[in-house]
Structure 1
């Protein structure tokens, strides 16, 4: 295992390499850049210089500061031996009550202990998982937040954090002191639209965190939900990202969960989705140095894949999964809103690996396909079919109703 200081990271490349049935998965530790490499060559037998030359086919700019580590998944029958990353919800509490929130309100839930989280994270590390993302509710509210972050970093796993940024200066300082690899901040449009959705003063606090992060080398991204309230604010969000050196992910609102009034007023259809993608495509020309992500990215010459994989399957079935604050595993957080239909088991009781390999619910989910997409010339080239989980949770159908290809 290789540990590098923050200053060394700026000039280094550290690739974790995992053996798979089709070849290998490459995961660049500091940029989170993933490649699925089909090869019959045995990379473990290569010398350092030979391996550096092989890896340089996929990562440009590899110099002498090249570090690598081979990791191993337990043997199994799947195309991808273990997940690439895991989303973990370490608390049921949040600082806000957002109008589009789909999280369950369960005040009597039994929460995992700190030792329970550590056991789980260590198991994920042992089976070759590369990344842990601490996500909402608001992870910084957890009394175990600092200890969990330090434990993840101590295993040299990629540490990502999703946050609303609604906290004070000391918490901002404490977050930066932990030096996570990546922070995603929820900002929904301009100050008016954001505060209307998330509450008074929430925009300014989120921007203050973004500004603070811009003075560090921590990678940062704005997660922006596209609804009728934010459809006209895309350029504002991109300008904000440009000012503070952030990427942007534009995520279509899904009518999921407990706030039916917001869903009825602010859901978008495929016409609005097309409008949103058109604007993102236009802004890429203006801001070529920014990474701007969107779903159904088929209007520009060069798509930026949102969930790119070499498999025609839902991304949670191979790439990642979601573990809630009680240890309950679902393929995706969206699907928890449907009750126990997509509940796969409790990792605190049964361990992660038995659920990942043997859950009938998860194995059934892995068989889902995009029937409509098979007829589309963009499928598996520019577009990977939208979000199966979000589509099922909002409409009951795997084929994403926000796809606008028929009206293009």
Structure 2
């Protein structure tokens, strides 16, 4: 049987090699995506091997990935979820647990976040009956600042939940200290920033909890998937419960009675000895991933540092090539940071002789994909027209981002020839406009 499996996997490698597209890059014809997965034959083999072994639910590969991913961050625990959005939901919901007693988040409590971003950083706040407090961002870094966070803190503020924008870290050490000084929880949405560092330390390691996405656009992929990481064992246990239906039991699926008290507990008003595997201590969900996803994630994790190097190289090439172009605000890394960039973000200045739309249309016509800065000002979207939130300050820069900002790709499948074409396309357009 082992020989048959070996033969099948050898055929998978050959199949991948035969299917690999070695077509030459044709400027203006070959699509240059803003983001995407970078997959090799090891990734294909990992998926097929997991399928051959019929590992269709969370199991050995999921546990192995969680351990390796936690080790990558030098943290104690990682819990896989089925998406980065679910990771955000699980992380924030864990902080509402009655087991945290007086520290728990309660309906009506405030959570500081940014208005310029992706909705799944904000939605868990609303889903838990909490109140988002929106702060503005800085142009250039596209992150908020400790000063803006400090000014937004009010008597009902209990937590901070913000993302590292497009891989560029916010001033997370200072904001973590601010959270500690005011007894606030800090959740880092690290979905766009795996491998980024701030003051020499990986993002995702400063907060009480941090989240990651493994959607194909992100630094490593499982197709779908996400993760919550933490160094706090109490919070890790709550994360696991919320992710796993809200159950009180901590046995892995297929395991029984690790606590040696499975039929000898009194919880709630249940009968004494009620099967602990079916006792629920939280209003939870089933947001686990599968071993098929985890097998791909393990293969991708081997290349996370390589991917980061290529992202940095591509970003730096664009930054140097486009520097000084009239009418364009260049992106800037947060001081003290080394971003593993998710994208290259540009803002067309109000006095430019061209518009964002004209530049974007030009790029798209040359098969260079663009993306807006996610939702821009989320308070202007119909989804949030009837929800309760507080705006801590005028969202001036957030509105500029909404009108005039977009980004292009730097992901690892883009080589130096492609990046040079992207830069030259922008340079030619801007020079023609002037």
TM-score by length of 1: 0.27
Q: Per chain length, whose mean CA-contact separation is higher, i.e. which structure has more relative contact order (CA < 8 Å, sep 6+)?
A: 2
Q: Which has the larger radius of gyration?
A: 2
